[in-house]
Structure 1
Amino acid sequence: MNKNDTLKQKVKHALRLDRAVRFVWEAGPGWTIVSLALVFLQGVLPLFALYVMKLIVDAVTFALTAPDKTAAFRQIVLFIVLAIGVALLNALCQMIAGLVKEAQALEVTDYIYNILHAKSVEVDLEYYENPQYYDTLHRAQQEGPYRPTRIVNNLVQLGQSGISLVAMAGLLFSFHWGVAVVLFAAAVPGIIVRVKYSGKMFYWQRARTQTERSAGYFNWILTGNTHAKEIRLFDLGDLFIRRFSDLRTNLRQEKLEISRKRSVADLGAQAGATLAVFGCFGFIAYRTVQGSITLGDMVMYFGAFQGGLGYLRQLLGNLAGLYEDNLFISNFYEFLDLEPKVKEPLHPSPVPRPMKRGIVLEQVSFQYPGGIREVLKDISLSVAPDEIVALVGENGSGKTTLIKLLCRLYDPLSGIITLDGIDLRQFETKALRREISVIFQDYAQYYLTARENIWFGNIELSPDSQKIKTAAKHAGADNLISHLPREYETILGKWFEDGEELSIGQWQKVALARAFLRESQIIVLDEPTSSLDVKTEYEVFTRFRKLREGRAGVLISHRFSTVRMADRIFVFEEGRIIERGSHEELVRYGGKYASLFEKQAQFYK
């Protein structure tokens, strides 16, 4: 199946209303019921309004020749009061419908964001390292929050317009069947135009998703704090502004060209409809002059034709809108239908606690999806409880990838990873990850309070737990937090008011505290002290060795002052383990490790 066939299949499956209706119902069933109740009332009110107008015109016509003008005028006033009542009722219904529509839209938007966020957390890390995923996520974020509400609103309007149209068409049919036929024929060209160009806009948007994301990327670079220093130091502002502007100009011109063509086609359709309206008006006026109908009838029938044409346009427009919205919401469904690659076991085994033998990797190989080379090749190693092992090697040698496999963010291409002899794939992923505490080299910085930054390491604890402060002390973060304006309640970073920015080294201490808080059996530290001074580094690892009781520790570092503290060291090169042993053994061996150690040691001689 080629790419176009796949896309057509997705669109075909998306042309269903049940999922969107279910989302809206689940978000706010009460608002949905009220909205449906208003549909019938707003649908029949226009017919009453027309009939009252006919009565007023006929009463005025009669009053012109009536002998008792006062009595005739009283009759007119009665009908006018009735017309006011119908108009006020219609206004009240419109006001309530507007409030219901707004409340429902807000409820659905928040509900859809919850679904988007839950799915974003559920999908595997593999998706976040795939550009196609970001295209899919971008389209889902664009369409998901508001399309379901629009679909339901279109359905509601469809029902309301349908009721009004049936009433108007019945009235016109009683006058002449030909007028009813012209009514339907006049609205069809405009709907054909809308359906045609809805499809064009949908396929254009899908084709330009990556361009829109590229423009968004430059906007993020220019407006965020991540690149603020380099943009100024390297004078990159004008360059990135031009690139953003060029991308947006191309997108704007292409979109406007589609809109221009649609407007020209719309003009032709509207011209045909206008001729039909005034042609029918002429026919109704002719029948009035011939005496076949009264002046009030003429006003009523012409109003019915105009109103009926409007309701028919609304009805067909709602159908075209449903088609358009379903096309675009297929992007949202495409995101929701992403399948996890890391599968949960049908009958998960409990994670051993405490573990007895530790972790064992046996002939593990791995290649990233879409990659062209194996990142890990035939890796075998073990980590016992109470043992710290270090992984050493140049950047890109596979060290961090091994940690991702250990955390089951990916599964090995071949080989097996076990914990106390049980394959990691036999554990529920959440249960396994609760037993692993990790700080990656690209650790997160949460622009929330210092307390929350540490508490996120173990949210099963109370946010007020004394263990948070203890973890901060172990990581060397307590002293710096105690000197912040509101201590542990201080917001970190400059995103929000009263926030305090930290240095890279201070952020790293907070991240370490988060890792130490987790009551796990395995601690993984990936370049944990790269931004710490030598004194703090020594203190942190002294505490780390004390904390390891009953735990397995995995350390990745380029600092040999840190690495030499490990019980065993594994040296990686191009995805393979080329050396293993203690620091002393590897130095005596005189291989890759000894060479790297000697080069780094020269800076301290």
Structure 2
Amino acid sequence: MPPPPQKEPPRSFTARWAALKNIPPFLVMVWRAAPHLTIATMVLRAIGAFVPVAILWIAKLILDEVVRLAALPDTPDGLAGWWHSGLADHLITLVALELGIGIASDIIGRLLRLVDSLLQERLVIDLSMRLMDHAAALDLEDFEDAGFQDKLERARRQAAGRMSLMGTIFEQLQDSLTIATLGAGLIVYNPWLILILLVGLIPAFLAEAHFNARSYNLDFRRTAERRETDYLRQTAASAETAKEIKIFDLHRFLSGRYLDLSRKFYAEARRIAQARAAWGALFSALGSLAYYAAYAWIVVQTLTGDLSIGDLTFLAGSFMRVKGIIERLLSSFGSTAAQALYLEDLFDFFREVPEIASRPDAIPVPRPIRQGFVFENVGFRYPNTEKWAVRGLSFTLHAGETLALVGENGAGKTTLVKLLARLYDPDEGRILLDGRDLRDYDLDDLRAAIGVIFQDFVRYAMTAADNIAVGRIEAREDRGRIEAAAHSALADQVIARLPAGYDQMVGKRFVQGVDLSGGEWQKLAIARAYMRDAQVLILDEPTAALDARSEFEVFQRFRELMAGRTAVLISHRFSSVRMADRILVLHLGRIEAQGTHVELLDQPGRYRELFELQAAGYR
């Protein structure tokens, strides 16, 4: 199967601006995150939008009033004279009004910063939760695909890095309202003033949009390399890799590889930055020419008497404000278009739909399971591969039976387990549970009925108690159950040596964390199986990191755990698999033989060959 075609970044101007369709759903996300805070920021910004025109208009009235009073034939002497004469009452009122607006503007600005910061925090939380919830709903197949990993990486970056877009959009709405009020005043005096501004600023806006799109295209193409640089940074300075890095002297290789990738990315980014700076300087000069042409008209009109000093102040201030706001608005629109391209990555991730999901009419898993599982000619191959991982599998796992899977690496043992837990669905055949197709059952209920310990279990950077509780996380507060599970897995002996016992943070990721040996970690993982108390137990090399004594003791406990349960055991150690009721020997994805340990030893074949090879190592 050829790999699926990868999404290409938008290249045409139309395609880039089409990404603005992502702005409305983004604003819906903002609203859902915190409706009251969204309303508050909109109201505050609407009030703030009228502040500039109000201040400029009052300044005009103040200047005109000062000019009028200064032209009076008989004017009072000193401040007291003006105050008692009453001639300055209107001027004083205007100054007091301007002071009040200034204070109100400062309060609004501070409130707006507070509301926006809270709204951004709420949006980050809400978006991160959506990202984690959606990722949890997707298929294992997605996470094992490199293309999906690139998409997930871009989505993570946007969830954390696009919050400035919210403030940008709200500022644009406020700026647009301010321009409408200031522009109305300019148009009253001369409509050509606005047109001159636009002619000078639109080319700079188009250039900015072009370079924003180029930057996005570069980021998009470099997603895989950026993931690799992140991996190299983590690998080169990690507690998990430090021993091998030092022993094999790998730091030069890793840092050299990181430097090569970073230099390539830097070279392309520098070319874009240089071109942006050159064109930006040219268009900035064009905008300045337009501004001073309009400003010259205002000065001439004032000198000829067509405009008052107050009009000059209002127009010059309005023109300067409008120029600055339009310049910022056009630039931010370009930035918004660029960020909307990045939002496409986020929404593209949210559009991913899992193939493995519960049907609308899904039924609960029977309790107890009475018949067991039946594999009917099951075949499966991993995405984008031609080779079948398993094919033609037909066997029964009876209820209450312990079944062992034996075979060399790549025989299909772990794949069979993934199919049983419905982490994948078969490409051929079907799997039945008590006579019904596995796909007929509610997916969450099915997985709740199955407990799995994989060989590559996760070492959670949490407390020892939480590392066990993840086996049945809804019982996290049941300390008695956690301690019982630890005792059954012999993990209580490990925990007893920890400074804070069950409340000790394990792993070296966080301060005061205590690292464990491989065998100690594995005992915590085994305790999860006891914590889960599932109907079906799957153990994939559960004792690989344990010494012989610990392995013997753990398997003695496993006998108790598996009593009355349906269990699947994968192990390369024949001392372990011999406890199974029945053994399946897998080779190249097919069942080569099956029977009890004694039956398989009595007949020539792969099982006896592997047993004798392993036994020879102990002679």
Give the TM-score of the pair, scaled to structure 2: 0.93
Residue 578 (structure 1) shift: 1.0
Structure 1 residue 541 corresponds to structure 2 residue 570: no
SS in 2 for 1:589: coil
Distance in 2 of aligned mates of 1:168 and 1:132: 50
Distance in 1 of aligned mates of 2:168 and 2:211: 18
Once the two structures are superposed, what CA deviation does each residue of 1:131-167 show, in whole Å capped at 9, x if it has no partner? 01110011111112343x4444333222221222122
| Residue of structure 2 equivalent to 1:431 | 445
Distance change in 2, residues 1:3/1:362 (3 Å):
closer
Once the two structures are superposed, what CA deviation does each residue of 1:45-93 show, in whole Å capped at 9, x if it has no partner? 1111111221232234344443315436776555433332222222221
In the alignment, residue 419 of structure 2 is paired with which amino acid?
Answer: L
- Which residue of 479, 485, 488 maps to 1:471? 485
Q: How many residues of Structure 1 are paired with residues of Structure 2 in the alignment?
A: 604
Native 8 Å contact 1:14 1:329 kept in 2: no
Native 8 Å contact 1:15 1:323 kept in 2: no
Distance in 1 of aligned mates of 2:299 and 2:407: 92
SS in 2 for 1:501: coil
Distance in 1 of aligned mates of 2:533 and 2:130: 30
Structure 1 residue 114 corresponds to structure 2 residue 121: no
Distance change in 2, residues 1:462/1:94 (3 Å):
closer
Distance change in 2, residues 1:110/1:403 (3 Å):
same
| Residue of structure 1 equivalent to 2:235 | 221
Distance in 1 of aligned mates of 2:71 and 2:387: 98
SS in 1 for 2:352: coil
Distance in 1 of aligned mates of 2:154 and 2:481: 42
| Residue of structure 1 equivalent to 2:245 | 231
Native 8 Å contact 1:468 1:517 kept in 2: yes
Matches within 5 A, 1:565-604: 565-604=579-618
Residue 13 (structure 1) shift: 6.6
Native 8 Å contact 1:21 1:151 kept in 2: no
| Residue of structure 2 equivalent to 1:295 | 309
Distance in 2 of aligned mates of 1:498 and 1:270: 55
Distance in 1 of aligned mates of 2:215 and 2:559: 61
Native 8 Å contact 1:440 1:526 kept in 2: yes
Once the two structures are superposed, what CA deviation does each residue of 1:504-538 show, in whole Å capped at 9, x if it has no partner? 01111111110122121111110111111212212
Structure 1 residue 131 corresponds to structure 2 residue 146: yes
| Residue of structure 1 equivalent to 2:102 | 87
Matches within 5 A, 1:180-329: 180-329=194-343
- Which residue of 75, 78, 89 maps to 1:68? 75
Structure 1 residue 409 corresponds to structure 2 residue 423: yes
Structure 1 residue 37 corresponds to structure 2 residue 51: no
Native 8 Å contact 1:10 1:334 kept in 2: no
Residue 388 (structure 1) shift: 1.2
- Which residue of 454, 474, 482 maps to 2:496? 482
Distance in 2 of aligned mates of 1:238 and 1:54: 68
- Which residue of 50, 61, 77 maps to 1:55? 61
Distance change in 2, residues 1:275/1:475 (3 Å):
same
Distance change in 2, residues 1:123/1:223 (3 Å):
same
Structure 1 range deviating more: 347-356 or 435-444: 347-356
Native 8 Å contact 2:200 2:286 kept in 1: yes
Native 8 Å contact 1:363 1:377 kept in 2: yes
Structure 1: give runs of 5+ residues left out of the alignment: none
SS in 2 for 1:383: strand
- Which residue of 526, 533, 558 maps to 2:572? 558
Structure 1 range deviating more: 316-325 or 226-235: 316-325
Residue 544 (structure 1) shift: 1.4
SS in 1 for 2:471: coil
Q: Percent identity?
A: 33
- Which residue of 158, 177, 180 maps to 2:172? 158
Distance in 1 of aligned mates of 2:577 and 2:477: 34
SS in 2 for 1:511: helix
Native 8 Å contact 1:150 1:325 kept in 2: no
Alpha-carbon RMSD across the aligned residues, in angstroms, is 2.1
Structure 1 residue 26 corresponds to structure 2 residue 57: no
Structure 1 range deviating more: 435-444 or 9-18: 9-18
Residue 28 (structure 1) shift: 1.1
Residue 462 (structure 1) shift: 4.9
Native 8 Å contact 1:390 1:566 kept in 2: yes
Residue 266 (structure 1) shift: 1.5
| Residue of structure 1 equivalent to 2:516 | 502
Distance change in 2, residues 1:541/1:11 (3 Å):
farther
| Residue of structure 2 equivalent to 1:174 | 188
In the alignment, residue 502 of structure 2 is paired with which amino acid?
Answer: Y
